Structure 1
Amino acid sequence: MAKIVHVAWADRVMQQYGKRVLHLHQKFPKVLPRIVNQVGDRAKTQVVRNLTKQTGLPRKTIVAAVGDPSRARPGRLSYEMVTRGGNIRLKYLDAKETEAGVVAKPFGKRTLYPGAFMRGGRFPDRKDVKKFDGHAFYRLNRSGTRITFARSGVIIPTEMTRGATKSAFDRIAGPLLQQRIEAAIAKLVP
C-alpha cells in the first residue's frame, strides 16, 4: 500500500503568473527545481516530526519508511514522498508483556492487547523464546500450536495523509512554495 502526499499548486501558479513562470523556467532551468526541492525538504522534516508523534513509532523507523523522496529536476517539477507499509507489529511500539496481555504505545497512547503474549511458560515464571524475537502474538487455537502476530492498527501510509501530519505538510509546503516562487519571479523576471 503506497500513498503520495502532494501540493497541487501548479494550476494556481500558471493562472496567476502564466508566461512569467514559463520564461523563468526557460531562462533559468535550475531555479524552479531548486525551490521545489528546498520546500520539499522542509515539508519532509515536518512530516517526519509529526508522523513520529502521531504514530508512536521511533523517529528512525519513520525516516526509513518515508525514505528518500524523488526530487525535482529541470523538466520535472515534482517532489514526491512515497511510503509503503502495512499494519505495524506491536514489537516496534515499545511492547511489554503483562499478565493481562501485551501493553504497547500505538498512536502515542498506552494500549492493552488482551490475550497477546511475548514469552512462553506459565506466570510468573515466563521465559523468553528466542524464535519470537521480541514480537507479540495471539493464539489461533486453544493448544497454542498456531499463532499470529499481534498488530497495532498503525499504518504509516494512512497516517501520513491525515491528521497533524497532513496539516503540517499543507501549512508548510503550499505557502512557502508560493512565497519562494514569487520572490524568484520578482528578482529574475520582473
Structure 2
Amino acid sequence: MAGERTDSAGGARLALIETGIRSFGRSGFGVGLREVALEAGLTAGSITYFFGGKKGLVAACDEHVMAEVRAQLPAILSSRKKTARLRGDAQRHLANLEYLMRALRESPAVLAEMEELLTGVACRQLEHASTTPPDRVELQARAAEVVRRSLGIAMLDHALEPPRTAADLAAFVTSSRDLSQQLASELATDSPP
C-alpha cells in the first residue's frame, strides 16, 4: 500500500497504522510524521486528522500489534506441530514483530500489556505442569519469572539475529514458544523463585 493514495477513510487510517508499524519498527519512534504519511501515500495532516498527532498514531499502532498478538497466540500455543505457524501475511507479521520488539524496550504500556498477557499463559502452563496444585501467590511469582526469562531471551535473540523471512519468523516463534514451555516445566518442579 506504500506510495498509493488511499481513498476511503478507514483505508487511509489503516494504511497509516500499518505504515507506522513498519516505520517505527524499522527506524524507531523518532520517525517524523511526514515520513510516515509520505510512505503511506498521504499527508502529515491526515495523521493529525485520524489520530490527533504522533502520540495517537503510536497508541493506534500499539493497539493494532497487541490485537494481532492476542489473535495469534492461542494458535501458536496450542499447536501440536513441531514448528509454529502464523495465520496471514508473513511480511505483516515480520513488521509487527519488529515493532513489538522495539515497543517492549521503549514503551512501558506495551511491556505491561505483554507481561500481563504472557503471565496468564505462563500460569496455565505452570498449572498444567505441576504435580500438586500450587499456591496462587507462588504461581503468579513463578509465572512472572517464566515471562521475564522468556521475553528477555526472545528480545536478545531478536537483537542478535532478527528474522527476515517467513521461515526465520516461524523458527523464532517456535523457539520462543518452546523455551517458555520448558521454563514453565522446570519452574513447576523447582522451589519458589
Structure 2 length-normalised TM: 0.31
The structure whose RCO (Cα within 8 Å, separation 6+) is larger is: 1
Q: Which has the larger radius of gyration?
A: 1
Q: Normalising by structure 1, what TM-score?
A: 0.32
Structure with greater helix percent: 2
Q: Which of the pair is proportionally richer in strand?
A: 1
